[in-house]
Amino acid sequence: MDQSSIVFISIISAAGLAALVLAAFFVARAWKHRRRSLEMDDMEGHEFEYFCADLLRDKGFLDVEVTRGSGDFGVDILAEKDGVTYAVQCKCYNAPIGIKAVQEIYAGRDYYDRMVGVVMTNQYFTSAAVDAAKKLKILLWDRGYLESMMEELD
C-alpha cells in the first residue's frame, strides 16, 4: 500500500469516527429532551407551575413569580421580559385544553394589569380555545412550543 492510500484510509476513518460521535451526541440530546417532555406529564399542577416558572427564567424572563394557589384569578405566574409584562396560566392535563383557560387568563391579565396573557400546557388546545385566544389576544404555548423552548436550552 502506498503512502497516499494510507492517508486516504486515515481520512475516511477519521470522518467516520467524527460522524459516529456527532450522531451519538444528537441521540443523547434527543433522549434527554424526550425524558424531560415525559416528566412534565407526570407533574401535579403546582409542580408544573414551578417547572414553567423555571423554564421562563431560563428563557430570560425576569421577576418571575409563582402566585399563591387559590384566589389568583386564573394567573399562576407573573413575569417580565424586554419591558413586556406577562400573566401566565399553567395547565398540566391529560386532555386538550378548552376555552375556560383562555377566559380565565383573559380576566387575570387585566386583574394583574399585565400586557400579555399566556396559557402554557403540556397538551394542545381545542379549536374553540384557539379561536377565543385569537379574538381575545391571548398567547397559547402548547406542548410543542414548550418542547421547543426546552430544546433551545439544551
What's the CATH number where 100 sits?
A: 3.40.1350.10
Q: State the pLDDT at residue 151.
A: 87
Q: What is the pLDDT of residues 35-58, one digit of tens each?
A: 456 688 999 989 999 999 999 999
Give the count of domains, the chain: 2
Identify whether residues 71 and 134 lie together within a single domain: yes
Identify whether residues 113 and 52 lie together within a single domain: yes
Distance CA 153, CA 96 (A): 26
- In order, the DSSP letters of 58-84 are HTT-EEEEEPPSSSSTT--EEEEETTE
Residue 47 CB-density burial (10 A; 0-12 exposed, 13-18 middle, 19+ buried): middle
Other C-beta atoms closer than 10 Å to the C-beta of 99 total 17
Q: State the pLDDT at residue 68.
A: 81
Q: Average of pLDDT values for 52-74? A: 90
Q: Does residue 30 or residue 118 have the better pLDDT?
A: 118
Task: Indicate the helix (H) or strand (E) that contains 141.
Answer: strand 138-141
Q: State the pLDDT at residue 7.
A: 57
Please, are residues 122 and 92 in contact by the beta-carbon 8 Å criterion?
yes
Q: What is the pLDDT of residues 110-119, one digit of tens each?
A: 999 999 999 9
Identify whether residues 34 and 58 lie together within a single domain: no
If DSSP codes are grouped into helix, strand and coil, which group holds residue 1?
A: coil
Q: State the pLDDT at residue 78.
A: 97
Q: Does residue 20 or residue 28 have the better pLDDT?
A: 20
Q: Average of pLDDT values for 123-145? A: 97
Q: Average of pLDDT values for 15-35? A: 50
Identify whether residues 22 and 70 lie together within a single domain: no
Q: Average of pLDDT values for 72-85? A: 94
Q: State the pLDDT at residue 37.
A: 60
Q: State the pLDDT at residue 4.
A: 63
Identify whether residues 99 and 65 lie together within a single domain: yes
Identify whether residues 105 and 132 lie together within a single domain: yes
Distance CA 33, CA 29 (A): 6
Closest CA to 76 of 114, 38, 41: 114
Identify whether residues 31 and 105 lie together within a single domain: no
b or e along 26-37 (b: 16 or more beta carbons within 10 Å of the residue's beta carbon)?
eeeeeeebeebb
Identify whether residues 99 and 76 lie together within a single domain: yes
Q: Average of pLDDT values for 106-112? A: 96
pTM (two decimals): 0.75
Identify whether residues 26 and 76 lie together within a single domain: no
Identify whether residues 117 and 91 lie together within a single domain: yes
Identify whether residues 18 and 60 lie together within a single domain: no
Domain assignment of residue 18, given as a range: 1-42
Identify whether residues 16 and 52 lie together within a single domain: no
Phi and psi of 76, rounded to 5°?
A: -100, -30
